[in-house]
Amino acid sequence: MNKPKMTTEKGVPSNSRVLMLLGQLERLSRDAMLADAEIGRQITAKILHLIQTQEKTRKEIMSKGSSGMEVILATLENTQDLQTILNILYILNELLTVGGGRRVGVFVSKGGTGILLQLVLSGSKESPPSEELMLQLHSLLAKVGPKDRKFGVKARLNGALNVTVNLLKQNLQNHKLLLPCLQVLRVYSSNSVNAVTLGKNGVVELMFKIIGPYSKKNTSLLKVSLDTLGALVKSKTNARRVVDQAHVPVLLYIYQDWHRNDTRHRHMLIRKGILGCLKNITNIKLGRKAFIDADGMRILYNTSTECLPVRTLDPLINTSSLIMRKCFPKNRLPLPTIKSVFHHQLPHVPAGGPVAQLYNQPLGVDDVVDESDDNEDAETENDTENEEEEKDHHAGNDDIETDISKLRPKETHSRPFEELKIYERFFLELSEDFQGFNFDNPKSGVTATPAAPKSHRPIIVPTAQALPPKHPTAAPLQGECHLAKGEHPHPEASPPAPAATPAPVHPLDLDTINITKDQDGCCDHSQIQPHPGLEQELVQGLERVALEGAGPQGRAGGGGGVNRHNRQPPLLAARQGGGAEETLAEEEGGEGAVLEVPDTALLLPLHDPDLYVEMVKSTSSVPQYSEVAYPDYFGHVAPTFREHILERVYGVQSPLPPYRTKIFQDIERLIHPNDILDKVVYDLDIQSCPVIDDGESLKFNSQFESGNLRKAIQVRKFEYDLVLNSDINSNHYHQWFYFEVSGMRVGAPYRFNIINCEKSNSQFNYGMQVLMYSVQEAISGRPRWVRTGTDICYYKNHFSRSSIAAGGQKGKSYYTMTFSMTFNHKDDVCYFAYHYPYTYSTLKMHLQKLEALRTPQIYMRQDVLCETLGGNSCPLLTITAMPESTSNDQICQFRNRPLVFLSARVHPGETNASWVMKGTLEFLMGSSPLAQSLREAYIFKIVPMLNPDGVVNGNHRCSLSGEDLNRQWQSPSPELHPTIYHTKSLLQYLAAIQRAPLVFCDYHGHSRKKNVFMYGCSLKETVWQTNISATSCDLHEDLGYRTLPKILSQTAPAFSMASCSFVVERSKEATARVVVWREIGVQRSYTMESTLCGCDQGKYKGLQIGTRELEEMGAQFCVALLRLKRLTSPLELRNHAHLLDVESDLIETRCKVTSSPSTYVLEDEEHSFMEEVDYSAESGDEPDNDPDTADPHDNHHSDYNNHRDSLT
């Protein structure tokens, strides 16, 4: 006979002994069908001996390309001799015990699983079955099963499932055989169908016969039994079976017993197995009830608390906290209704719209019940709480547009040109001939649309005081309010007080107040730190409200000053007088109120407190706000120090599941309810008196522009639950917050819990901090928002809303964002915000200041695009360069400049978009050569705030229509979505006259990603993400859409090209980006997203983003547009070569931007990605770009900083 041609690895002798034996075994199996059993036994025994004594023998059999495994399996399948079978099983056990998963994978791929299962079935037919055979077969199956994806199905179809169950029942006392049978059952149970079948066959009851209290014996058996039971009770049917048979208290008792006796923590896996069973059982409603009834919350809380000092027991603590969170009874929010506390009557309510659905909901809709056995995300909840993101990640392709026809620009315009001609008045620059224009005084020729009439409601000016005067002062008589020519009184003006009641404290109309800055109290604005003695002067100046000549009853607080220990800004009280004439005479005599504030004009060229108050007076809000917040009044000077992204704190955010310390404190509320104060200290639902002040608690306020805080509840001495208000005409969108706190104690550890957040994760879990503004710091010469807060985390809580209120989403839970804070100043007034606030009145102030800074070289026009539902005007800006003369060439060049269309702040809570827009506007209005070159290159049409109403009223996402305006671009309503309707009409008009913009960009903010990045639209990249077939003709497109993001990645330190996406999703088909691309035909149509947190790449890696970086991003966008112009029209810029040299130098000196992937947690707003957070990675930047050593005013940004200086 010829020797078998056994393929071996290089270097292994082909005539090795084991290969010779395998050759003999192969011939014996093929020729004689193992008729000679004795020879088979001898050969297999020799192979077994070689494998047991020589490691190289195993390698020869399992080497790549060797046919040894096929020979062994063929012999096992064909032989009938028990001893030969056992020898081969011994051989396989030796081979598969070492070598990792690769050897098992080879075994499975060769059909080994089916052969073993067949042997189990045939061996069971023997009477009695061979114990050793069953032992070896089940030992092998326990190794092989986890690597075979179809193992459970094969076992069920083969019949081996029942064999193993019967074997288990017959050998409960035979621990040697019991262990491998349990190991195989554990693998069987991972198949849901098998788990139900095993439950019906009584396997669940069998497990409880094996599981018992603490014992040092048979711990391996107990561990496997618990794992098997844990796999079985993933089935709801089996979980109900456990509950029905009252096994939940048994499991809790067993867990307590092991916890008490396992003092050296040697059996943590057994304790973890018991918790694993409880975790799966409590996935059903009956299981959660049984757990609560068995006092499970107290048991797990106490045992977990005792485990806290031992770091190795973290897995037990984490699993316990997950179970307790899940079983914490679901409650409704502590509100009368989750609908917004404010309501705005719409011109009409569409029958199928969200507002109609909201107000047609039945009574009791907010009541929360445990609605099903499906605990929300219970079976998929993972350590990072990214259930929704994981789901979105796996189903990401489902949202990608696959209809090629929808991925091409529309060929025809949807509206007739006659209908669009009315928008010609917004494009005067396209027909301007400048005849009769005085080039010596160009401002006289470019006029802005007059502002809307002012509202004459009383406005409360911020000072450092607190409570209003305690004694009454007289209300002004009729006719005391003086209207300017052409102005009209506000329809909601405060009515006179009823005669039967004392005259209320009434704020003086700011039209009659003279507010001046204290020139003696000003500091040297070139320095942030005040000089000695400045703080006292500023405090005194800020607090002085002079009401000269008034009697004792006419003075605020009874004197010339006001007690600074009070909280609220004082009402600037009107004096008691006989009529308008007397009042006017007193004012003319210099007896008006004087509020003195620090002058920050040199640091903030676009900020003026006096002007801000004037802007507030013409701003309309649904709650009719009459107060001005200190930060908006004083302004914000970006700090010069760097604010680093926080590292995750052990026990708070790490290890995962996070936040166990905070969660345990929440669970204490259920276990020790008598320790909870549950005292409401602020409630907007009580319109008459929202502030409940007993002198023992913090005082809150949010009744000012962009403010959002609905309710504050003191739960412990220094802990408060805070509830945010829904967007108006909505019952959700809770994320933006902005509120005032006062009455704090210095050094006390306060904890604030915002309990009705909605997103499933947040950058608060990845290093982001809240923002705080201290009035004491401001009057000390440091008016600024700073990142603050410790022990910050974001986690699912026990509050939820019903499926009806959640729009059909079952078990919609809320999330808590919690942070701790220690205050440094006595009698301080502090403000907290989600991000740097930027109000509508701030925008109006900035636009007016920018217009005042206009030079003769700048063409700037401000129009009112439309009026919003709330009665606020939506500004439209036109910015370009003035022509040098009225020559035909100059006028032709002026009219034919390409257009760039920019918009921002469609989502009110994304305040960073306004700061980026501010940087863009400042750059465009600057006097630098780059700015002039950019104005000469383009005509800019800018809508800086698409949703003024949402911004004013403190909404997070919607307008007063209760809808997300960035989902209305396909068919906007002129009545319900006027800003979107008219902005789209502007673009449609441009498309109709063949002047579609070269670039459209909508500025946004992103709450769950880091860095700044863009979303664009690409037919080709969208198709590549799907399985649809398309011809090369269908996929033809210009790659120019990538140019601008690529330029930004080279010039802007915060920008990340790796985070950009150009895929078009179905869920985004009504957004500005997609509609402008598809309907207007703008290839470069973008959404530019700016992080709310910080950067994980480039120069700013590891730093939280601030207003300086956001404004810089807006300026860098302008620089990128200039380079885009250079690339798209190089001949046009030939005459400006010196400017291009400057621009090139600017780009080349930028820090190198690494292409590391962006860290983010998914945003429901945009394209789905998911990456791991890693803050330990070293930066790939050059040493001078290290965040710890780099100068914040780096020379790399000298051009940008010089440009900013030019504004002053």
Paired residues of 708 in beta bridges = 738
- Coil, helix or strand for 886? coil
For residue 655, whether the previous peptide bond is cis, meaning omega lies within 30 degrees of 0, is yes
CA atoms within 13 A on the CB side of 733: 25
**Nearest-CA neighbor of 712 among 722, 702, 724?**
722
Helical ranges in 98-235 per DSSP H: 100-109, 112-124, 131-144, 151-158, 160-170, 175-188, 192-200, 203-210, 219-232
Whether the Cβ atoms of residue 1051 and residue 1149 lie closer than 8 Å to each other: no
Whether the Cβ atoms of residue 816 and residue 757 lie closer than 8 Å to each other: yes
- Coil, helix or strand for 122? helix
Q: What is the residue-wise DSSP string for 247-304?
A: -HHHHHHHHHHHHHH-TT---HHHHHHHHHHHHHHTTSHHHHHHHHHTTHHHHHHHHH
Residue 421: both structure tokens together: 């001609």
Catalytic-role residue among 537, 1089, 1109, 1165: 1089
Q: For residues 38 and 20, what is the distance between their CA atoms, to the nearest angstrom? A: 18
1068-1102 burial, b at 16+ Cβ within 10 Å, e below that, comes to bbbbbbbbbbbbbbbbbbbbbbbbbbbbbbbbbbb
Residue the block writes with tokens 């903010």: 1005
Crossing angle of helices 82-97 and 55-62, in 10° steps, is 100
Whether the Cβ atoms of residue 944 and residue 905 lie closer than 8 Å to each other: yes
Q: For residues 742 and 723, what is the distance between their CA atoms, to the nearest angstrom? A: 18
1089 included as an active-site residue: yes
Residue 665: both structure tokens together: 């404190």
Q: For residues 1158 and 910, what is the distance between their CA atoms, to the nearest angstrom? A: 20
- Residue 746 DSSP code: B
Q: What is the residue-wise DSSP string for 205-222?
A: HHHHHH--S--SSSHHHH
Query: How far, CA to CA in Å, does 50 sit from each of 526, 705, 710, 916, 1193?
Result: 86, 84, 78, 74, 74
Residue the block writes with tokens 């780059």: 930
Rg of the chain on CA atoms, in Å: 37
Q: For residues 1184 and 1151, what is the distance between their CA atoms, to the nearest angstrom? A: 9
CA atoms within 13 A on the CB side of 819: 21
Q: For residues 486 and 454, what is the distance between their CA atoms, to the nearest angstrom? A: 10
Q: For residues 1048 and 1119, what is the distance between their CA atoms, to the nearest angstrom? A: 9
Name the pairing type of β-strands 749-757 and 812-822.
Answer: antiparallel
> What single letter denotes the amino acid at residue 1172?
E
Residues in contact with 887: Cβ distance below 8 Å, sequence separation at least 6, in sequence order: none
Query: Left (φ > 0), alpha (ψ -120 to 50) or beta: where does 645 sit?
Result: beta
Residue the block writes with tokens 């496997």: 224
Burial class (CB in 10 A: 0-12, 13-18, 19+), 216: exposed
> What single letter denotes the amino acid at residue 9?
E
Whether the Cβ atoms of residue 214 and residue 262 lie closer than 8 Å to each other: yes
Q: Which residues are catalytic?
A: 1089
